[in-house]
Chains A and B, each alone.
Chain A
Amino acid sequence: MSGEATTVSHVKRKLRLHLRNLSDHDLAKVNAFLRIGRERLQCDWSVVFDGEFDVLMLGLEEPGAVLGMTGGSPLATLCVADAGTGRNDAVESLARPLQYEALLDALSALENRFAAAPALHAVPRAFPPDARFRLLRWPSADLLQGDRDRQRLASFLLTRLVGLDELARLSHVDKPQCAEFLALLSTTGTLDVVAAVPEAPLASTAQANHPELDANHFASIRHGLGLTWR
């Protein structure tokens, strides 16, 4: 068996960009910019013209007209107006003519904002049976909700790849609850999912200087400190 991990997918969150009231010229530019900037963006952006969407890009003569005419319930709205027209601070604004850097910066800012908050519309994905997981960043406070189990589960996912069974065993949290949490994390774009052979343990300065540490020691430390919630 190969010792190398096979990346099935870095879970790139899918985001749907609904374009409305934009000229054919602007539509073509947005599509081209997304295609060119795909590697730079953290999420997998797709353009839609109907159905559900995550971000609304709305062409306007006056940015101030945006409120009340967006429709749907987008996570964010980007309005596109001619340069020099008034700015509406309630929404993100892009100036015509559309510029590549400005669009990518705006989408990147939205990605960062969404990454810090749980997705409202994202659908949890099914994982391969041998999937292993690792968090790319600490989840948002909204997602953790001050829940001790969620905080502990997230901590187990920070240091190395871990499978569902191992996560449940180490954390003493029920497997369905672990699976539910992983599914929730997968909607935020912060969870790396890999189908792989086990990773070699990571060295740390702490372990290098504490070679005696094993599972019994950690149990002893927790017991001695009175860590009793699990």
Chain B
Amino acid sequence: MAMTQHKIVFSGPPGAGKTTAIAMLSDIPPVVTDVRNTDAGLGKELTTVGLDFGQADLGNGQCVRLFGTPGQLRFDFMWRIIATDALGLVILIDNTRPDPLDDFATYLDAYADLLPTINCAVGIGRTGECPLPTVDQFSSLLAERGLAFPVLPVDVRRREDVLMLVDTVLIQAEMRT
């Protein structure tokens, strides 16, 4: 029996938690392409330069393949390639970065032609450490562009938070069938 595969893509700036989010859902140890980080501003030892990959086996010949895009802007040519044909896109934002709204705008621009039809959710991380901008400000940025997606505070170290983002993506997909 041919395996049915679904693709969910996690995208966002460096340090937003894409690798961690995939690890929360994957049945296999995530395949990562991390290298030693040379950007002191990121504040982490390793960073992803290719893509992350994980897989959740659903049984009955089905699986969900989880992809993480590289965060650095210089790899933006890969973002849309990876997101093409995806069942859903999860954009993760790190609210402790210098300008999270600008980060968000960068990803909205990068996926501009996909967003009107793709199932998408937005997770704002580390809001406890940095409550501003508020989650509502991210929603307002979407509204200014005529878009409406779930925007949720998220701690990607909590599996249920990541699942909630994925569930809102699945709900949108379900409503389009």
A residues apposed to B, CB below 8 Å: 112, 115-117, 135-142, 146, 148, 151-152, 154-156, 158-160, 162, 170, 201-207, 209-210, 212-215, 217-218, 220-227
Contact = CB atoms under 8 A, between A and B. Distances in A.
A140 B170 contact: no
A214 B168 CA distance: 16
B96 interface: no
B117 A141 contact: no
A227 B118 contact: no
A137 B141 CA distance: 10
A87 B86 CA distance: 52
B114 A205 contact: yes
Contacts of B62: 217, 220-221, 224
A224 B142 contact: no
A210 B64 CA distance: 13
B149 A224 contact: no
Given A214-B177, A225-B163, A141 B168 contact: no
Interface stretch (B34-42, B44-52, B100-108, B150-158): B150-158
B6 A210 contact: yes
Contacts of A142: 136
Contacts of A136: 143, 148
Given A136-B143, A138-B142, 15 more contacts: A112-B140, A115-B143, A116-B139, A137-B139, A137-B140, A151-B150, A158-B175, A159-B175, A202-B175, A204-B173, A213-B87, A214-B177, A221-B6, A221-B58, A227-B163
Contact of B58 (A138, A209, A210, A224): A224
B11 interface: no
A222 B88 CA distance: 14
Contacts of B87: 206, 210, 213
A138 B59 contact: no
Nearest to B150: A155
Contacts, number: 132
B167 interface: yes
Contacts of B150: 138, 151, 154-155, 158
B168 A155 contact: yes
10 contacts: A136-B143, A138-B143, A158-B149, A202-B175, A202-B176, A204-B117, A206-B85, A206-B87, A221-B58, A226-B159
Given A140-B136, A159-B176, A227-B167, A206 B149 contact: no
B176 A138 contact: no
A220 B88 contact: no
Contacts of B121: 155
B93 interface: no
B59 A158 contact: no
Given A205-B117, A220-B62, A141 B6 contact: no
B171 interface: yes
B60 A137 contact: no
Contacts of B151: 138
B109 interface: no
A205 B173 contact: no
A160 to B, nearest CB: 6
A13 to B, nearest CB: 15
Contacts of A220: 58-60, 62
Contact of A222 (B85, B117, B167): B167
Interface in B56-78: 56-60, 62, 64
Contacts of B86: 206
A135 B148 contact: yes
A201 B176 contact: yes
Leading 3 A-B pairs by shortest Cβ distance = A224-B58, A159-B175, A155-B171
B176 A206 contact: yes
A224 B64 contact: yes
Given A206-B173, A210-B6, A224-B58, A141 B166 contact: no
